[in-house]
Structure 1
Amino acid sequence: MKLARAIHFDDSDTRVFHNPARTGEWCLSGGFEFSNWSEADLTGKARQAFANGWLGCETFGRVSFVAVTRIERSEYNALVDMLAQHFVEIYGAPSLEAARGVALEELAQMADLCDEHAPNTLLTVARALTESGVRETYRVIEAQEAGLEQFAIHGALDEEPHKH
């Protein structure tokens, strides 16, 4: 099974989101957070979170890019519990058991999105408010297309050491 983890290429997320997700935490689309929003809610950093932020499952912060990766069943089960607890504490779900079904749905949607992509594929999300609610679209950036080598440290390994 695959999900996606938060990834940062620079510190821009710390400037554009109220609460940036932590690098490496598991993420969801998190569009449910905006289900009751209107245009009036879309200002400043809240607008940025709405427009293109994935939701971290530990900090419940936002991130611009996620990378597809494999997840162990035990990690997945822990995420279900964490998300269900969030739905009870923040959204007023009547019980952990009731919230668990919604958490499973959210994680299954993300797993379906990630399943068709190779590990290290980058994903972005774009949201728009429409008359029928929030519309999400996803952009896929294949690992080779992302030019990940530009973030690697380059150096020659075959150089002779300096002689004195």
Structure 2
Amino acid sequence: MKLARAIHFDESDRNVFHSPARTGEWCISGGFEFSNWTEADLTGKARQAFANGWLGVETFGRVTFVAVTQVEPAEVDALGQALARHFVDLYGAPSAEAALGVARDEIAQMADLCEDHDPNTLITVARELTGAGVRETYRTIAARAAGIDQFAIHGSLDE
């Protein structure tokens, strides 16, 4: 099974999100956070989180880029439990047990998104408000293969 981890190329996420995700943490879309939002909610850093932020399932911070990678079943189970607790703590779900099915669905949706992509493929999300609710679109950037000349040191042993 594949999921995606937060990846940073610079410090910009620290400046554009209220709470940035930690590099390497597992991420999901997290679009559910915006299900009741209106245009009035889309200001400042909240607008940035809405527009293109993935949700880290450890810190519950946001990140712009995620990279596809393999995940172990035990990690998936732990992520489901953490997300279910988040639903209780932040959204008022009656219990972690009651929220677990929804948490697993969110993780399965992310796994479906990642499944057909090679490891290290980058994915971005873009959201917009529509009359029917939040619409998400995804863009992928394939990882380039590295050539040995990118890492080899050229020289002579005769020196």
* Shorter-chain TM band: over 0.9
Offset of 1:160 from its aligned partner? 5.5
Give 1:25's aligned residue.
Answer: 25
Runs of 4+ in 1 over 6 A off after TM superposition: none
Give 2:155's aligned residue.
Answer: 159
- The one-letter code sitting in structure 2 at the alignment partner of 1:44 is G
Offset of 1:158 from its aligned partner? 3.4
Three-state SS of the structure 1 residue aligned to 2:135 is strand
- The one-letter code sitting in structure 2 at the alignment partner of 1:58 is E
Three-state SS of the structure 2 residue aligned to 1:55 is strand
**How far, CA to CA, are the matches of 1:61 and 1:85 in structure 2?**
15
**How far, CA to CA, are the matches of 1:73 and 1:155 in structure 2?**
34
Q: What CA deviation, in whole Å up to 9, does each residue of 1:55-85 have, x standing for no partner? A: 0000100000000000000111100000000
User: Are 2:142 and 1:142 equivalent residues in the alignment?
Assistant: yes
TM-score, normalised to structure 1's length?
0.90
- The one-letter code sitting in structure 2 at the alignment partner of 1:132 is A
* Structure 2 counterparts to residues 1-164 of structure 1, below 5 A: 1-144=1-144, 157-159=153-155
TM-score, normalised to structure 2's length?
0.93
Offset of 1:97 from its aligned partner? 1.2
* Superposition RMSD in Å: 1.5
Offset of 1:96 from its aligned partner? 1.1
Offset of 1:155 from its aligned partner? 6.3
Equivalent residue pairs, number: 155
Gaps of 5+ in 1: none
